[in-house]
Structure 1
């Protein structure tokens, strides 16, 4: 089966003529259900955060609401707001509990945050954009009211450190249920996220869970195989030698529901730009100079034209994990996925490596070369053990020279004002680099990154009582940039901080 998938012709996205599509229908999003009403609410910025209306719950059927909206005629802002509030339950801005002036030790504070960020199993009310979840889950915090894909792996690192293994397992079961329903893990648990995924960390989440019975292991393996099929069928690109690697994408070419106004301003009606904005969101790096044709400007975004080191490294890890699980369950699929991993590794080493720069990077399908610039994605082939020992050593040198800042690991070396660029540092990228460097014998550099980032988190916590979504690792302060204010809470920062404290023994005093 896998050989057949790998032999499929290039996707439309690879040819840069149209976005990719998926085999399954997507649930209708609020923008699709409420059309002109949604457009007006978002364009006129009725709520400061575009995600607010996307997360609102209608009080009656969409058809009834839209019929009344049509009869209402032209409404000014006050009239439109009154109509929305009469017909929708609008969520309050996301908040965490106010910080304690006493500032308990950071580890103690994080342990106290887990119950605040944990939600019970969810059966959404009729018409809600939320997706059903059969088990408990942890949200990032702030405006992020739902469970997110790649965030959750890094959150789980902290849950494991704090003895919350049952909660980790609950979240894995939720992700498996999503694959069973949609064929992949959505970006987040909202209808407007289902057309895209995020970096595929599910196999690593599963690796955290112990004591799983054979029947459950079989179901989990089925989910991984289905997720792998999604990436191979829906996100494939053909390299110059005929090798197949994957890129980020999205099944829709419209403005994102949660950032509708911003996308309209950027895309100006261009479906290709909207699809590339969505693909940038699937990458998790929304947004970064990595995805800009000119390296500077969001309007030049061309994410679907890029074959990335991080995605393909994770897929290599997934293929190895599937092969191991096939062997453990005595299924006849191990050799197939072993070959897939070996083939992918060869292609990564050929096409995503710069011998001149000593880095892994992103291959531009249009320019037919690696894009310029060192980014934290160069650590992923170390994180999943794709790189040879000699190349791993060179990447360590490059990271120390170009990405190591006084207070942690920079995301890129480009300052564009985007949140996934310099000077910001993000907890998940710290962990990926630290784990990868340790694997390749660069433990002292890994320790430098880890202890510097921990000190940054600690300083901000002492100053504000908050754990933040991102940090400025050059100035040791709150990070900035992007489409929304820096959020606090914050799931993956909590998780990575606790894992680093456990490893390096800081923050317990």
Structure 2
């Protein structure tokens, strides 16, 4: 087994040279190298690693750790750190009292105010998708959601480009839609569903600009960070930009754009294959597959206190830094956090956050996404007449497909499962990720048999009943109520897209009927929340229609970019047939009305 330790040093250094008004330097993958050492999360001492950051975050003067690292510096970093050193010395080297610390922060930093409201030029009040929606309530809802694009639309102020050393935010050239709530910057995998929603609302020019922002950051850093903040430079997120371009191409038929950006997609793909692959054995055969792995030193700056306090469970600095790598790797998954990444001493998922072992889990979804990315790039290169590149990516896609089939597919269970390289075993727990190969079509078996197997698996897990009725107000992320936000009873929009669109793509009648039922239940829950609270949530509670999900490190967020995008996807596919209906109490959704039965099942599962 090979474990490679990636350190992104020059990436961060080159970004910060712009603080001296030098031009940005576009990086190539050659700037990445292996090292036995660990670098901090980013080169900024205030935003990523310093005594000042440590003291402020542990003081709890801000309930949310992200608040401090999103602030703007009023003075240079060196001036602020020198002033803080003097303040601390006046207290004999001790941390100043909270009132003094708050005063100091207010004197030398201020709220970022990095964004300005922006009106997308191609916004239209009545997008064409609304003409395909039969239910009058859903039609009005879609018009309301369309207006939310204007509410979420932002551009980064030019001052951020001119003075990047004053901000944690990273400048991007075009307008974009923020996810919502505490998330006021461009994020990676969220953007896929935001782009799809924009395209369905006839905003192809805006969608292209958003994709170009992602590609701009890929050119700048050699990969797309988790989000457009310097403290996210230690990690990425699920690699969705190739699929964003595919969505744009499908909507516009603009292959010239594909040709323009394909070399950047190339470099992003190579980041994953060169820095996130690991070789392991199963049944005596060697496989090389992708994992999430984000090596850097110290706690996540935006969740500093939470990580630091969890790390106190460990005795040595090496153990603590190992934990920090695993927690950052967990954030790279997009599922931050879930029992999916827990490996206890007996090899189960029934642990706590200190049991996180993300880099030792080979994820179904990541490898499936890389498979469809490689296949897409192969198809485009073939269309361009570049045979060598087309064959290269076809070979990569084939190898990943075979590995997914041989390592992850369980015919006895009817689904795909993450592989635990720590214990050399399949992780036989329910997660929606077990169904992602349906969405990416990462299988080489007949669609009829795969659809039948997966439907059987969903019945075995009580997601659906023997008569194919639906049990929840959305498919739960897992069946284990761990208190983590990517577990039961929470349901997340992108995961609904994976399972519902995956079933639909099998083109098997029964699977498509189940997909429509699941989509209708999800739409009804989202609509209920919007109708009653005028809000769209980041995540939902499957046991309470229209209610936000809970758990995790921060309060429930509203907005919400990817939620709206998934709603538009489902309305585009089924808007002519789905209806708001009687809140799930008809024959197709009868078990939604039987809360006692669901509660008994929950007690059994947990």
TM-score, with length taken from structure 2: 0.77
Deviations 1:211-264, CA, capped at 9 Å, x for gaps: 576664334211111111111111111120222100001131320011000001
1:10 aligned residue (2, 5, 10):
2
1:368 aligned residue (408, 421, 424):
424
Give the equivalent residue in structure 2 for 1:502: 572
The change in CA–CA distance for 1:49 and 1:356 in structure 2 (over 3 A counts) is same
Tell me whether 1:456 sits opposite 2:522 in the alignment: no
C-alpha contact (below 8 Å) 2:418/2:434 kept by paired residues: no
The change in CA–CA distance for 1:366 and 1:508 in structure 2 (over 3 A counts) is closer
The change in CA–CA distance for 1:227 and 1:81 in structure 2 (over 3 A counts) is same
Tell me whether 1:246 sits opposite 2:269 in the alignment: no
The change in CA–CA distance for 1:333 and 1:407 in structure 2 (over 3 A counts) is same
- Which moves more between the two structures, 311-320 or 402-411? 402-411
Tell me whether 1:174 sits opposite 2:230 in the alignment: no
Count residues with an aligned counterpart. Answer: 488
Give the equivalent residue in structure 1 for 2:33: none
CA–CA distance in 1 between the matches of 2:343 and 2:286? Answer: 24
Tell me whether 1:419 sits opposite 2:485 in the alignment: yes
CA–CA distance in 1 between the matches of 2:189 and 2:514? Answer: 25
2:330 aligned residue (280, 284, 288):
280
2:341 aligned residue (283, 291, 301):
291
Q: Structure 1: 5+ residue runs without aligned partners?
A: 1-8, 13-18, 97-102
Deviations 1:125-171, CA, capped at 9 Å, x for gaps: 43201111011111100000001111011112221221111111001
CA–CA distance in 2 between the matches of 1:212 and 1:118? Answer: 25
3-state SS in 1 of match to 2:209 = helix
CA–CA distance in 1 between the matches of 2:382 and 2:361? Answer: 34
Give the equivalent residue in structure 2 for 1:79: 100
Structure with more contact order per residue of length (Cα contacts < 8 Å, sep ≥ 6) = 1
- Which moves more between the two structures, 275-284 or 455-464? 455-464
- The CA deviation at 1:192 is 0.8
Tell me whether 1:310 sits opposite 2:325 in the alignment: no
- Which moves more between the two structures, 233-242 or 464-473? 233-242
3-state SS in 2 of match to 1:239 = strand
Q: Structure 2: 5+ residue runs without aligned partners?
A: 13-41, 118-137, 465-470, 582-606
- The CA deviation at 1:502 is 2.4
Deviations 1:264-301, CA, capped at 9 Å, x for gaps: 11122511111111011100000011100131311100
C-alpha contact (below 8 Å) 1:156/1:205 kept by paired residues: yes
1:300 aligned residue (342, 352, 355):
355
- The CA deviation at 1:11 is 2.9
CA–CA distance in 2 between the matches of 1:362 and 1:120? Answer: 39
CA–CA distance in 2 between the matches of 1:67 and 1:277? Answer: 31
Deviations 1:75-121, CA, capped at 9 Å, x for gaps: 210000000011111258x9x9xxxxxx9932122111111111125
3-state SS in 1 of match to 2:11 = coil
Tell me whether 1:398 sits opposite 2:464 in the alignment: no
C-alpha contact (below 8 Å) 2:48/2:301 kept by paired residues: no
2:53 aligned residue (10, 14, 38):
38
2:414 aligned residue (355, 358, 361):
358
The change in CA–CA distance for 1:21 and 1:106 in structure 2 (over 3 A counts) is same
C-alpha contact (below 8 Å) 1:24/1:182 kept by paired residues: no
What CA RMSD, in Å, does the superposition of the two structures yield over aligned residues? 2.3
C-alpha contact (below 8 Å) 1:400/1:445 kept by paired residues: no
Give the equivalent residue in structure 2 for 1:62: 77
CA–CA distance in 2 between the matches of 1:195 and 1:188? Answer: 10
Deviations 1:440-459, CA, capped at 9 Å, x for gaps: 12111111110001111111
- Which moves more between the two structures, 62-71 or 265-274? 265-274
3-state SS in 2 of match to 1:120 = strand
- The CA deviation at 1:46 is 1.3
> Where do residues 138-177 of structure 1 align in structure 2 (5 Å cutoff)?
138-177=177-216
Bigger Rg, structure 1 or 2: 2
Give the equivalent residue in structure 2 for 1:410: 476
C-alpha contact (below 8 Å) 1:141/1:489 kept by paired residues: yes
The change in CA–CA distance for 1:344 and 1:24 in structure 2 (over 3 A counts) is farther
Give the equivalent residue in structure 1 for 2:311: 267
Deviations 1:27-65, CA, capped at 9 Å, x for gaps: 524556661111111111111111111110101110000
3-state SS in 2 of match to 1:209 = helix
> Where do residues 91-240 of structure 1 align in structure 2 (5 Å cutoff)?
91=112, 105-123=140-158, 124=160, 125-126=163-164, 127-210=166-249, 211=252, 216-240=257-281
C-alpha contact (below 8 Å) 1:179/1:227 kept by paired residues: yes
C-alpha contact (below 8 Å) 2:524/2:580 kept by paired residues: no
Give the equivalent residue in structure 1 for 2:585: none
Tell me whether 1:432 sits opposite 2:498 in the alignment: yes
3-state SS in 1 of match to 2:368 = helix
- The CA deviation at 1:433 is 1.0
3-state SS in 1 of match to 2:242 = helix
Tell me whether 1:255 sits opposite 2:264 in the alignment: no
C-alpha contact (below 8 Å) 2:49/2:298 kept by paired residues: no
The change in CA–CA distance for 1:136 and 1:282 in structure 2 (over 3 A counts) is same
3-state SS in 2 of match to 1:324 = helix
- The CA deviation at 1:184 is 0.9
Give the equivalent residue in structure 2 for 1:52: 67
- The CA deviation at 1:475 is 2.4
CA–CA distance in 2 between the matches of 1:486 and 1:153? Answer: 21
Tell me whether 1:339 sits opposite 2:339 in the alignment: no
